[in-house]
């Protein structure tokens, strides 16, 4: 894991001191709200419906046990005993007082954490594949590059006042688990024929009001040019991105309005001027960062298969959990574990302080002290010996964290929605809870198979509904909540934006409507191996519209 | 009809203006403005609360009076007056500061009830 050097720590400490002073000046009345608001946002402090909200950055979703314990401590001391893990691999607290923020940020700084650049028109937390450094199918760990980008983009003077916020995601495997094509910049780390590392570069993806799939503007960017090329993209965007209209200010609109060929020519031109300058990364620098992310020393534990076989005989639930929540590790004796924060009927992504402490303990004892936050709002133990899976499972049961639903219909992404968020039009969490309750039966979930359901409480799409196999968007119509369904979205290597099927559904109708969609799929799939998304891509929206709206379907 | 609401600067907690008790933590005591003049008076109170740094995000919101209690028209404001509807153990609703008439519609469909 990356550890702060003296510079990092001094920088974060200085920021805590600076913001503490700003909070004091605000509380004493020296600063007005208009003066203070941009300052608090630069430090991750929002004002929501019920209270302030603090968003803490978790760089590329990687945490140590010590850090996760601190997140639990903050939930207990400054909040109401829980936190919400977000689709940007961050955590949000819903109730901290402004007066407590300095203490809260000082506590975070003591474990090398902060809330800088979790808001505002700057480069936000760089996200990455949550199985990075562990997954069997990856070419190389994308996190060293995410870390290089983090260091470069932190309070970057040229890129602190962009036309709009800017999100970068990195993956190191063909199978895209970081949804890179719906980010402002998506980087796919790969090797060329000579075995050298570099990136396929995508630009201009995004969700929100105008969802767009990113355009690939480079097939292979050698790794040493990561910062020079990213700088070139940022410069072109900073100069030409629209500042006249907030809704047209993201780079996706610039790509769309300029055209991919023209824009990439502009980027190329900018890049040629700087590519061999100071931003060119020396191999020694890359290697120095790489070392922080070295795979832990994993001792051989060949007894795993036998242990799992025996444990399966003992507990069918354990077997189901292994089949659903455990994936292949690059070391044959190890596995990556998904800890579901989607217990049946629970708020997606919420974890109590006790649960965070429990996961920290498990990670320390069984998982080399490492935890990841996934953009799907779950926690991950990237390195667990297969021989220890049963012990890990038993500990998870203690915290009600053993739900075996990774990738199934109850593994729902949901944003905070109108229960917390000041921008929301409709609730999302209760929709997720109700759908989860409806599909609670594990046998039924298994029968349905992989199905990604994603819910947002407004068009900002923090709940990624555009790329849900089934997406739900909450809107407000005549003072009541209404839910629009989209189908066929996907945020992986074959990204697609879901299509709106027709008129929206009232709160009391939405779960039935989802069930209708699922039943329609079950009725038309070729066989069990044809997943929901594949079936949808084969047959299109028509049968689903027919099932949802009957003879109204054509009008819808 | 309108009542005056805001979030308290120090802790962000939602508050409403009550003629007799000042800024209070429940919508229960907020007295709706019945005329344009009364609305203007509320607005003046809001401006003062902003100027003195007591509160932020100060707004007049629409309410109906139901059994003597101001009930926000918008669901957003009903949730704000109650707390998160998925966590009825938190917020005003858990602190005895929510009149039952003002509670937001629960999110339960008949099949799941
Ligand atoms: S999608 Fe909208 S409602 Fe949901 S968290 Fe984002 S801004 Fe809030």
| Whole-complex ipTM | 0.95
Interface test with B, best of A52, A80, A419 (most B CBs within 10 A): A419
In ligand 1, the atom with minimum distance to the C-alpha of A461 is 1
Q: In the prediction, which pLDDT does A477 show? A: 93
CB–CB contact B79 A49 (8 Å)? yes
A19 in B contact zone (CB under 8 Å): no
A26 in B contact zone (CB under 8 Å): yes
What is the C-alpha separation between A340 and A349, in angstroms, rounded?
Answer: 9
CB–CB contact A511 B112 (8 Å)? yes
Nearest to B76 by CA among A458, A83, A462: A458
Work out the end-to-end distance of chain B between its first and last CA atoms, rounded to an integer number of angstroms: 34
Q: What one-character DSSP code corresponds to residue A58?
A: -
Q: Given a cut of 70, is residue B110 above it in pLDDT?
A: no
Work out the end-to-end distance of chain A between its first and last CA atoms, rounded to an integer number of angstroms: 52
**Which residues does chain B have within 8 Å of residue A433's beta carbon, measured at their own beta carbons?**
86, 107
Contact A380, A339 (CB under 8 A): yes
A482 in B contact zone (CB under 8 Å): no
Structural domains of chain A in order of their starting residue, each with its CATH number: 6-109 (3.90.480.20), 135-292 (3.30.413.10), 304-398 (3.90.480.20), 413-552 (3.30.413.10)
Q: Which of A460, A466, A471 to mutate to test the pocket of ligand 1 (most atoms within 8 A of CB)?
A: A460
Q: In the prediction, which pLDDT does B107 show? A: 76
Q: Which residues of B touch A (CB under 8 A)?
A: 7, 9-14, 50, 52-53, 56-57, 73-76, 79-80, 83-87, 90-91, 105, 107-112
SS3 A140: coil
Chain B, nearest residue to A433 by Cα: B86
Nearest to A493 by CA among A89, A128, A180, A170: A180
pLDDT below 70 — which residues of chain A? 552-556
Contact A88, A375 (CB under 8 A): yes
Question: B104 alpha carbon to ligand 1 midpoint, in Å?
Answer: 19
Nearest to A51 by CA among B65, B14, B99: B14
User: H or E stretch including A322?
Assistant: helix A316-325
What is the C-alpha separation between B112 and A439, in angstroms, rounded?
Answer: 11
CB–CB contact B12 A418 (8 Å)? no
User: H or E stretch including A93?
Assistant: strand A91-93
Mean pLDDT of B64-74: 92
CB–CB contact B76 A49 (8 Å)? yes
What is the C-alpha separation between B83 and A129, in angstroms, rounded?
Answer: 34
Indicate the burial class of A11 (C-beta count within 10 angstroms; 0-12, 13-18, 19 or more): middle
Record the pTM: 0.96
A347 in B contact zone (CB under 8 Å): yes
Residues 6+ apart with CB under 8 A from A70: A107, A108, A110, A111, A113
Please report the DSSP string for A154-176 in residue order. TT-GGGSS-SS-B-EEEE-BSS-
Chain B, nearest residue to A438 by Cα: B112
Q: In the prediction, which pLDDT does B113 show? A: 44
Contact A419, A459 (CB under 8 A): no
Ligand 1 surroundings by CB, under 6 angstroms: A 415-417, 421, 423-424, 456-458, 460-463
CA distance B109 to chain A (A): 4
- Tokens at B86, concatenated: 């998925």
In ligand 1, the atom with minimum distance to the C-alpha of A416 is 5
Contact A98, A33 (CB under 8 A): no
Q: In the prediction, which pLDDT does B101 show? A: 83
Hey, how many other C-beta atoms are within 10 angstroms of the C-beta on A297?
Answer: 6
pLDDT band at B112; cut points 50, 70, 90? very low
Q: Given a cut of 60, is residue B2 above it in pLDDT?
A: yes
Contact B64, B1 (CB under 8 A): yes
């Amino acid at each position: 894991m990356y550890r702060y050097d003296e510079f990092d720590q001094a920088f974060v400490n200085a920021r805590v001191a600076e913001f503490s002073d700003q909070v004091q000046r605000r509380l004493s009345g020296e600063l007005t709200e208009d003066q203070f608001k941009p300052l608090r946002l630069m430090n991750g402090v929002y004002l929501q419906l019920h209270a302030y909200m603090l968003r803490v950055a978790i760089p590329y979703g990687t945490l140590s046990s010590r850090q996760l314990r601190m997140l639990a401590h903050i939930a207990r001391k400054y909040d109401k005993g829980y936190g919400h893990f977000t689709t940007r691999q961050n955590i949000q607290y819903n109730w901290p007082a402004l007066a407590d923020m300095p203490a809260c940020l000082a506590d975070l700084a003591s474990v090398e954490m902060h809330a800088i650049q979790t808001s505002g028109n700057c480069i936000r937390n760089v996200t990455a594949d949550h199985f990075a450094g562990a997954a069997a199918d990856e070419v190389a760990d994308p996190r060293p590059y995410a870390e290089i980008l983090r260091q470069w983009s932190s309070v970057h003077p040229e890129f602190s006042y962009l036309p709009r916020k800017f999100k970068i995601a990195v993956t190191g495997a063909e199978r895209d688990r970081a949804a890179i094509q719906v980010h402002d910049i998506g980087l796919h780390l790969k090797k060329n024929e000579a075995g050298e590392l570099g990136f396929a570069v995508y630009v201009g993806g995004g969700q929100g009001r105008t969802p767009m799939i990113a355009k690939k503007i480079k097939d292979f960017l050698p790794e040493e040019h990561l910062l020079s090329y990213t700088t070139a993209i940022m410069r072109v965007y900073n100069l030409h991105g629209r500042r006249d209209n907030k809704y047209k200010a993201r780079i996706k609109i610039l790509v769309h309005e300029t055209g991919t060929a023209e824009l990439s020519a502009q980027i190329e031109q900018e890049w040629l001027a700087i590519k061999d300058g100071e931003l060119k990364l020396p191999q020694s620098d890359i290697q120095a960062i790489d070392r922080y992310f070295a795979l832990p020393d994993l001792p051989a534990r060949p007894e795993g298969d036998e242990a799992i076989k025996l444990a399966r005989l003992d507990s069918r639930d354990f077997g189901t959990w292994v089949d659903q929540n455990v994936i292949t590790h690059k070391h044959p004796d190890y596995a990556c574990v998904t800890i579901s924060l989607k217990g049946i009927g629970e708020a997606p992504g919420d974890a109590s302080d006790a649960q965070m402490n429990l996961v920290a303990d498990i990670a320390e004892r069984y998982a080399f002290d490492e935890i990841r936050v996934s953009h799907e709002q779950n926690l991950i133990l990237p390195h667990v010996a297969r021989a220890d899976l049963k012990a890990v499972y038993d500990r998870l049961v203690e915290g009600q964290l053993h739900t075996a639903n990774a990738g199934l219909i109850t593994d729902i992404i949901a944003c905070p929605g109108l229960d917390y968020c000041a921008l929301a039009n409709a609730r999302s969490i209760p929709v997720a809870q109700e759908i989860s309750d409806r599909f609670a039966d594990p046998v039924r979930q298994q029968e349905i198979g992989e199905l990604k359901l994603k819910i947002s409480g407004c068009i900002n799409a923090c709940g990624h509904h555009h790329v849900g196999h089934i997406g739900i968007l909450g809107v407000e119509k005549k003072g009541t909540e209404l839910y629009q369904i989209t189908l066929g979205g996907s945020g992986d290597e074959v990204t697609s934006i879901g299509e709106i099927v027709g008129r929206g559904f009232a709160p009391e109708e939405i779960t039935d409507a989802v069930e209708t969609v699922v039943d329609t799929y079950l009725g038309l799939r070729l066989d069990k191996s044809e997943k929901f998304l594949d079936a949808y891509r084969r047959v299109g929206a028509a049968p689903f519209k027919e099932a949802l709206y009957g003879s109204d379907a054509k009008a819808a | 009809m309108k009542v005056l609401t805001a979030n308290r600067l120090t802790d962000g907690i939602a508050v409403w203006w009550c003629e007799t008790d000042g800024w209070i933590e429940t919508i229960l005591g907020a007295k709706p403005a019945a005329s344009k003049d009364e609305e203007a008076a509320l607005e003046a109170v809001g401006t003062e609360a902003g100027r003195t740094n007591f509160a932020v995000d100060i707004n007049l919101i629409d309410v109906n009076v139901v059994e003597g209690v101001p009930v926000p028209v918008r669901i957003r404001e009903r949730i704000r007056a109650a707390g998160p509807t998925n966590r009825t153990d938190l917020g005003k609703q858990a602190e005895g500061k929510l009149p039952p008439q003002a509670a937001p519609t629960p999110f339960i469909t008949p099949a799941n009830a």
